[in-house]
Amino acid sequence: MLTKLKKLNTEKNIKDLLSIRNKIYVRENSINKKKISLEVHKKWFNSFIQKKRNRIYGLFFKNNLIGFISIDVRKKNNVSWNLKKNYWGKVNFYKFLKNVTKIGKYTANIKIDNISSLIIALKSGFRIFKTKKNIVFLKK
């Protein structure tokens, strides 16, 4: 499957990102399970992109956003990612994560029962450094 990764930093991507972030399966696998309002999402997005070193990379298939990776420098280069469910197992997502995190140090926080994200993180070079309650903390 031919996919393309590109940096997202414009408001035109807001609704597409929110659509993915609010999928039921995404919320279930997220540390914060609450659905995100458009107003809260816009505020987060605009604040996020104000910090020049923060990054959001969109993963596209046939010009449609199918997933994304965000890197927040305010939180020790904390990385999070989401992929639409119908692309699970069809995209080597770990390769994209490995590529965007190849230079520098990064962290990730994943729910302990989110096995797919744990596998993606480990395959892309992250290592577990701590587990607390139901969250696995990783570093790269």
Q: What is the pLDDT of residue 105?
A: 96
Give pLDDT, residue 2: 63
The pLDDT of residue 110: 95
Query: How far apart are the C-alpha atoms of 94 and 89, rounded to whole Å?
Result: 11
User: Can you give the pLDDT at residue 122?
Assistant: 97
pLDDT at 24: 86
Instruction: Check if the beta carbon of residue 54 is closer than 8 Å to that of residue 69.
Output: no
DSSP H stretches of helix in the chain: 14-21, 24-29, 38-50, 93-100, 115-123
- The predicted pLDDT at position 131 comes to 96
Domain range annotation of the chain: 4-139
| 4-139: CATH architecture | 3-Layer(aba) Sandwich (3.40)
Q: Which residues of the chain have pLDDT under 70?
A: 1-2
- The reported pLDDT for the residue numbered 12 is 77
Task: State residue 30's pLDDT score.
Answer: 84
Q: Which two tokens stand for residue 138?
A: 């990783």
